[in-house]
A and B are shown apart, each in its own frame.
Chain A
Amino acid sequence: MWFTIAQAATLVLVLAVLYRPLGDYMARVYTSTRDTKVERGLYRIIGVDPSASQTWQAYARSILAFSLVGVLLLYALQRLQGWLPLALGLPAVPQGLAFNTAASFVTNTNWQSYSGESTMGYLVQAVGLGVQNFASAAVGLAVAVALIRSLAARRTLTLGNFWVDLIRGIMRLLLPLSAITAILLMAGGVIQNLNGFTDVTTLSGGVQSIPGGPVASQEAIKLLGTNGGGFFNANSAHPFENPTPLTNLFQCVLMLAIPFALTRTFGVMVGNKKQGYTILAVMGGFFLISLTVLTLLEYAGAGTGPQAAGAALEGKEQRFGIGGSTLFGTTSTLTSTGAVNSMHDSFTALGGMLPLLNMMLGEVAPGGVGSGLYGMLVLAIITVFIAGLLVGRTPEYLGKKIGTREIKLASLYLLTVPTLILSFTAISFAIPVIRAEIESVSILNPGPHGFSEVLYAFTSAANNNGSAFAGLTANTPWLTTTLGLVMLLGRFLPILWVLALAGTLGAQDRVPSTAGTLPTHKPQFSMLLGSITLIVTALTFFPVLVLGPLAEGLL
């Protein structure tokens, strides 16, 4: 066990070293008043004035239009695959799957109802999926930054310029980091070629087809942008995506670096770094607790199968072992990445509940790039509101009064994703025709585990995570369509609520804090925020967890 502790300690240390420089750098990226030469060129090409600041409505309109165009282009690219070069002879992606995949990559979910190596050629992977890996991550960052600006500002009607935030997020942050990352991954053994499938004669005289592909460039942004869509079906379990335990730890760092450091960016931008630390403490606390519980459960290896085999190693790679698998699984499901280096479907019953719970927390510990921070800030607003109710004072956060409109928007944010998860899971089992198809075609494992597979799918889609209990065959008309819709609604409705919230918060003045103000920069607030997050999640999802993993694990 000592080495799993050493592994976690190393991760924490590396993230701690990156925290300040990366957080400060991101604050500079989004507050700088100067544009680089390349950026000025880009603004000219796309036809925007970088000095123009947008109202929340204009900011939201830009995001929606940009994302819709992204969906349409990605859909078209997949449908045209048969005519494209570098397609490895693969045909057009079918309509339903192409819609599902387009929605999936534009929403930063990267749910994959297909197997990479047998569905997507190199051109669609790089020009379609790879580009959305960058774009969707930069959109998440932009929304978070807009919300931070509204909290930092006084009496402003504008939130910044989406196009500037988008392009800076990519040009100054994601692209340079991805280049460094891709090079390091290649040094570690990740492939980057256009070789297609190469047949080799194996040692015992058989034939094996070795895949190729521009993997490292895709892998870098897949993790940095908390996207998670694997080049290959096996995702980060595939040795060409994640060859060694060292690259495995590196990949965990990549997923966590930006989401955690954004709390520093937040602290810097609102002028009080301690405000960022209280949020960081909640995120970090959830992360360490979740990691510990999952690791203990998988080492314990409860359940008939793991007991018969001697350890819970089904769906885990020998080089990572249990410790490397639980670290990656926790990281991936708490960051909305959704990449996997082990098969969550084969986790022990209670162990499999952990990734599910991680997502149900709302992807806030530390969550996806940008989305994790704005999710946590909405929860902070809910927390000061509840605390305000307890002591009978008008709640405020960072000097902004939390009134009716703010609470309405925060509540809408809080309700949207659980409503999507629970209603679509319920419909899937309540309507006999759909249920019959789910049970006969989609579900792999019988009993409560099969229910968990469907619940996991909608939880993953609505939270824009993208990991799966992958035994589920999701490429059916019902699931491709509804999961695609759920991903879109789970991404863009919350973004609309957040931007509307930013609009009203920005318009307010910042009132000075008084003796009656709940301090939000002290450990007490971290405790409150953590408790509220947990209680909201538990109250919402406990009943449905009883039907799935709890029933299976406690039977």
Chain B
Amino acid sequence: MVTIRSWPRTFWVSLRTMLIFSLLLGVLFPALMLTVGQLAFPAQANGSMLDAPAQSAAPVGSALIGQRFTDKEGNPDPSFFQPRPSNAGDGYDGEASSGSNFGPENPVFLKAIAEAKASYLAQNPGITVVPADALTSSASGLDPDISVANALGQAARVASARSLEPAEVITLVHAQTTGRDLGFLGEPRVNVLKLNIALLGLEN
């Protein structure tokens, strides 16, 4: 039985262990997973990118990452369904995921809710109760989804901006609704980018 008795010798063993771990766990393991992912699940491993609806082959975004639907001035485009408020950079910045971290009594938070409510009501006349997800920003700032109520609340506005029948748009919202996973996990939701892509398909 030989035990290591001195500090210097223990440090030497530690250093060698860390170096071999760095190679094994820091390089080989991720590289192996990279290979498996790129071969077995290329779509997911590369970000679940969605292609443009029409002729262009370039992706318009990721099915998992929310994006902004704004006009040239940067204002919400009424002809698209709008995502939740976002605190990722200026909004849906893929390089700066973040929530607001507002506490429940923070005056800035209360002001943000009031503004979001006013703007939602202005954009969607006839709505009385604004869905909570439309008034709050998500944890990531990249939430790809909105609630079904939120999507339905915007349907009339989107239909009128695109001169479509409201019923047609409402049917589309229901078709694009994802239920709870396995019937009981999470919340029912509508992916805003997928919904808007389908909306363009409706027009064509």
- B-binding residues in A (CB < 8 A): 2-3, 6-7, 10, 42, 45-49, 51-55, 58, 61-62, 65-66, 68-70, 73, 115, 117-118, 126-128, 130-131, 134-135, 163, 166-167, 170, 175, 178-179, 182-183, 186-195, 197-198, 200-206, 208-212, 214, 216-218, 232-234, 237-240, 243-246, 248-249, 302-306, 308-321, 323-325, 340-343, 345-349, 352, 444-447, 449, 469-471, 552
**Which of B25, B44, B71 has a CB less than 8 Å from the CB of A134?**
B25
Given the interface pairs A46-B16, A183-B36, A190-B44, the reply to whether A304 lies near B97 with Cβ below 8 Å is no
A343 with B94: CB separation less than 8 A: no
Chain A residue with Cβ nearest B137: A314
- Known A182-B33, A239-B144, A314-B102; contact A127-B22, beta-carbon cutoff 8 A: yes
**Smallest CB-CB separation from A230: which chain B residue?**
B97
Alpha-carbon gap, A303 to B21, bound state (A):
48
> A-facing mask of B21-34, CB < 8 A → 1, else 0?
11001110110111
Q: Which residues of B contact A117 (CB under 8 A)?
A: 95-97
Contact B103 A445, beta carbon cutoff 8 Å: yes
A140 CA to B53 CA, complexed, in Å: 51
Q: Given contacts A130-B30, A234-B139, A318-B133, is CB(A66)–CB(B64) below 8 Å?
A: no
Return 22 A-B CB contacts under 8 Å, by A number. A45-B16, A48-B13, A52-B2, A58-B5, A62-B4, A115-B98, A135-B18, A175-B25, A190-B44, A191-B47, A192-B36, A239-B143, A243-B64, A249-B185, A305-B113, A309-B135, A313-B135, A315-B139, A316-B136, A445-B103, A470-B101, A471-B101
A208 and B67 form a contact (CB under 8 A): yes
Question: In chain B, what residue has the closest Cβ to A128?
Answer: B26
Which of B11, B20, B34, B96 interacts with A118 by CB under 8 Å?
Answer: B96
- Name the distance in Å between A160's Cβ and chain B's nearest Cβ: 12
Complex Cα–Cα for A245 and B109 (A): 27
**Contact (Cβ within 8 A) B18 A70:** yes
A58-B3, A65-B10, A214-B33 known; A127-B27 Cβ under 8 A: yes
B146-186 vs A: 1/0 string, CB under 8 Å? 11000000000000000000000000000000001111111
Does the CB pair B94–A208 fall under 8 Å? Answer: yes
Select which of B11, B48, B183 is within 8 A of A69 by beta carbon. Answer: B11
Report yes or no: B36 in contact with A186, Cβ–Cβ below 8 A.
Answer: yes
Complex Cα gap A49–B3 (Å): 7
Which single residue of chain B is at the shortest CB-CB distance from A188?
B44
Given contacts A118-B95, A345-B102, 13 further A-B contacts (CB under 8 A): A45-B20, A66-B10, A127-B27, A163-B13, A182-B37, A210-B49, A232-B97, A233-B96, A239-B143, A308-B110, A309-B135, A314-B136, A445-B103
Beta-carbon contact of B104 and A348 below 8 Å: yes
Residues of A within 8 A of B183 (CB): 3
A118: chain B residues at CB < 8 Å are 95-96
Q: Is the CB of B45 within 8 A of A191?
A: yes
For the complex formed, measure the closest distance between the CB of A184 and the CB atoms of chain B, giving whole angstroms: 10
B110 touching A238, Cβ below 8 Å: no
Query: Smallest distance from the beta carbon of B81 to chain A beta carbons, Å?
Result: 10
Asked if A192 and B106 make an inter-chain contact with CB atoms under 8 angstroms apart, the answer reads no
Residues of A within 8 A of B92 (CB): 208
Contact A42 B94 (CB under 8 A): no
Decide: B1 and A238 in contact? CB cutoff 8 A: no
Residues of A contacting B99 in the complex (Cβ-Cβ under 8 angstroms): 234, 237, 314-315, 342-343, 345-346, 470
- Do B25 and A245 touch (CB < 8 A)? no
Assess whether A318 is in contact with B146, with CB atoms less than 8 Å apart: yes
- Which residues of the other chain, A, contact B98 by a CB distance below 8 angstroms? 115, 233-234
Most chain A Cβ neighbours within 10 Å, of B48, B96, B101, B110: B101
- The docked-state distance in angstroms from the alpha carbon of A66 to that of B27 is 20
CA distance A214 to B35 in the complex (A): 11
A53 to B4, CA, bound (A): 10
> Which of A51, A248, A321 is the most central at the interface, judged by chain B CB atoms within 10 Å of its CB?
A321
Minimum CB distance partner of A123 in chain B? B26
CA distance A469 to B21 in the complex (A): 33
User: Which of B15, B96, B103, B105 is within 8 Å of A471, CB to CB?
Assistant: B103
Determine whether the beta carbon of B104 is less than 8 Å from that of A305: yes
Contact A58 B46 (CB under 8 A): no
> Are the CB atoms of B30 and A214 closer together than 8 Å?
yes
A-chain residues with CB within 8 Å of residue B40 when the two chains form the complex = 183, 186-187
Q: A166 and B100: CB pair below 8 A?
A: no
Question: Would A202 and B14 be within 8 Å (CB), given that A135-B21, A341-B139 are in contact?
Answer: no
Is B60 located at the chain interface by the 8 A CB criterion?
A: yes
B18 touches A187 (CB 8 A): no
Neighbour of B103 across the interface among A195, A212, A342, A345, CB < 8 A: A345
Chain A neighbourhood of B62, CB < 8 A: 200, 210, 239
Contacts of A446 in B (CB 8 A): 106-107
The answer for the CA separation of A308 and B25 in the assembled complex, in Å, is: 48
- Looking at A10, A209, A245, A302, which has the most chain B CB atoms within 10 Å of its CB? A245
Pair B70/A206 contact, Cβ less than 8 Å:
yes
Q: Which residues of B contact A246 (CB under 8 A)?
A: 181-182, 185-186
Q: Which residue of A lies closest to B130 (CB)?
A: A310
Q: Which residues of B contact A69 (CB under 8 A)?
A: 11, 14-15, 18
Q: Given A211-B94, A314-B136, verify A3-B106 contact (CB < 8 Å).
A: no
Question: With A and B bound together, what is the CA distance between A198 and B13 in angstroms?
Answer: 42
**CA separation between A1 and B117, bound complex, in Å?**
27
Chain A residues, Cβ within 8 Å of B104: 302-306, 312, 314, 346-349, 449, 552
Assess whether B114 is in contact with A308, with CB atoms less than 8 Å apart. Answer: yes
A247 to chain B, nearest CB (A): 9
From the candidates B25, B38, B64, name the one contacting A131 in the complex (CB within 8 A).
Answer: B25
Contact status B61-A202, CB under 8 Å: yes
Question: Which chain B residue shows the least CB distance to A309?
Answer: B135
Annotate B181-202 by CB proximity to A: 1 below 8 A, 0 otherwise: 1111111010001001100100
Contacts of A53 in B (CB 8 A): 1, 3
CB distance from B20 to the nearest CB of A (A): 6
Is the beta-carbon distance between B138 and A318 smaller than 8 angstroms?
yes
Contact between chains at A245 and B97 (CB < 8 Å): no
**The one of B7, B65, B77, B100 that contacts A343, using a Cβ cutoff of 8 Å:** B100
Of all A-B residue pairs in the complex, the 3 with the closest CB atoms, nearest first, are A245-B186, A303-B104, A471-B101
Residues from chain A with a CB closer than 8 A to the CB of B41 are 186-187
Judge whether B132 is part of the interface by a CB distance below 8 angstroms: yes
In the complex, are the beta carbons of B69 and A46 less than 8 A apart? no
Inter-chain contact A61/B67, CB cutoff 8 Å? no
Of A49, A200, A308, A321, the residue contacting B2 (CB under 8 A) is: A49
Cβ distance B176 to chain A, nearest Cβ, rounded Å: 14
Residue of A nearest to B141 (CB): A234
With A7-B185, A117-B97 in contact, do A305 and B102 touch (Cβ < 8 Å)? yes
CA distance A233 to B62 in the complex (A): 18
A228 to chain B minimum Cβ distance, whole angstroms, is 15
* Cross-chain contact B30 with A217 (CB below 8 angstroms): yes
Residues of B within 8 A of A134 (CB): 21, 25
